[in-house]
């Protein structure tokens, strides 16, 4: 058995376990893959995707080492001399180096770099889940979820993959993209190094790559926390405002956040002029429009903004005034 065949057998074993678990969950009217990849908002979760990626990669490498070390006959270069010189004698025998790597792994165990590599995505995933759940609890509007599986399975798959590095509106999210790139670079390095065995078990991951993945994970979580705190307006009812008219503002993060309650009130302005009678009603904001909205009796478009109780300011929302 050569290295390529052994790696393929290990990959098939890992994929087989994955498909078996998926089949079992489907019988139970659930989906393992959806559970471990999709977030609370129904989109592909960046953090969950990389937790799964590193779990599968490390499992693949360990299964390959297990097969070589426990089920393949020991190669002659290992037993033909002192154990101290086995790596040098077997330097041209990849499977023998995997056998030596398995023995090394059993005695040395995982290095600290793998605790970081596996732990950082997991920690980022837990933090991101908490932020997303809090956002879902405090949101007063229904979040639009992409129906990525419409339009054929290939288009659906591509759309799901794009969600890994894109924001809710479909634009590329720089923090998610950075997290994606650095993890993919590290994953490619891991796989290429493992397929060039050196007798030391799992490859040694350079501190530089570990640092890049850790920093990008921190930025990813920080971005989600900041994004969650920014209020936004989705609609204003009625759509055309008159002087002194009461209106309703619908959006996210406009009122009190259950995760961090406050007694403060939101402020509403139209072209910088404060609206009056601002109050919360069933999670929405109700206010009374200021006077002199129209110009010489002619309709005009003005910009509405909300300052949340936490100091977050929404983007300008255009409203028609008459």
What is the Cα–Cα distance from 161 to 158, expressed in whole angstroms? 5
77 and 197 in contact (C-beta within 8 Å)? no
**Band (139; pLDDT cuts 50, 70, 90):** very low
Express as a percent the part of the chain with pLDDT over 70. 83
Q: What is the DSSP letter of 300?
A: E
What is the Cα–Cα distance from 253 to 156, expressed in whole angstroms? 31
- Residue where the block lists tokens 């759509």: 239
Burial class (CB in 10 A: 0-12, 13-18, 19+), 245: middle
What is the Cα–Cα distance from 24 to 87, expressed in whole angstroms? 43
What is the Cα–Cα distance from 103 to 135, expressed in whole angstroms? 48
286 and 246 in contact (C-beta within 8 Å)? yes
What is the Cα–Cα distance from 193 to 195, expressed in whole angstroms? 5
Nearest to 289 by CA among 240, 233, 254: 240
Return the higher-pLDDT residue of 133 and 143.
133
The pair of structure tokens assigned to 153 is: 């399975």
- 261 has a pLDDT exceeding 60: no
Write down the pTM of the prediction: 0.65
Predicted pLDDT of residue 196: 93
Which range (10-14, 59-63, 136-140, 275-279) has the least confidence? 136-140
* Span 279-308, pLDDT tens digits: 988 878 999 999 888 887 788 999 999 988
Return the higher-pLDDT residue of 209 and 146.
209
Rg for the chain, CA atoms, rounded:
28
Mean pLDDT (whole number) for 212-221: 79
- 39 has a pLDDT exceeding 50: yes
- 47 has a pLDDT exceeding 50: yes
**Band (101; pLDDT cuts 50, 70, 90):** very high
Which range (33-37, 152-156, 225-229) has the least confidence? 225-229
* Span 270-282, pLDDT tens digits: 999 999 999 988 8
221 and 190 in contact (C-beta within 8 Å)? no
What is the Cα–Cα distance from 214 to 191, expressed in whole angstroms? 19
- 13 has a pLDDT exceeding 90: yes
């Amino acid at each position: 058995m050569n290295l390529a065949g052994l790696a393929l057998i290990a990959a098939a074993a890992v994929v087989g376990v994955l498909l078996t678990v998926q089949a079992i969950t489907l019988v139970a009217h659930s989906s393992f893959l959806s559970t471990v990849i999709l977030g609370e908002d129904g989109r592909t979760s960046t953090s969950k995707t990389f937790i799964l990626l590193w779990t599968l990669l490390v499992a693949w490498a360990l299964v390959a080492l297990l097969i070589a070390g426990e089920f393949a006959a020991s190669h002659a270069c290992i037993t033909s001399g002192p154990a101290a010189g086995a790596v040098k004698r077997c330097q041209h025998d990849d499977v023998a180096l995997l056998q030596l790597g398995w023995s090394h792994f059993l005695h040395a165990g995982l290095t600290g770099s793998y605790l970081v590599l596996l732990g950082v995505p997991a920690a980022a995933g837990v933090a991101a889940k908490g932020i997303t759940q809090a956002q879902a609890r405090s949101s007063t509007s229904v979040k639009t979820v992409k129906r990525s599986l419409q339009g054929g399975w290939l288009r659906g798959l591509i759309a799901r993959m794009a969600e890994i590095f894109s924001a809710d509106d479909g634009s590329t999210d720089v923090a998610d993209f950075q997290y994606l790139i650095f993890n993919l670079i590290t994953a490619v390095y891991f796989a290429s190094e493992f397929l060039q065995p050196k007798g030391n078990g799992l490859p040694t991951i350079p501190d530089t790559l570990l640092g890049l993945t850790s920093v990008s994970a921190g930025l990813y979580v920080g971005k989600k926390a900041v994004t969650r705190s920014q209020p936004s307006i989705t609609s204003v009812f009625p759509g055309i405002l008159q002087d002194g008219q009461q209106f309703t503002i619908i959006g996210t993060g406009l009122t009190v956040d259950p995760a961090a309650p406050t007694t403060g009130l939101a402020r509403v302005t139209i072209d910088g002029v404060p609206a009056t009678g601002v109050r919360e009603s069933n999670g929405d904001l109700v206010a009374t429009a200021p006077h002199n909205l129209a110009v010489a009796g002619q309709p005009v478009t003005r910009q509405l903004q909300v300052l949340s109780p936490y100091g977050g300011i929404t983007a300008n929302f255009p409203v028609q005034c008459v």
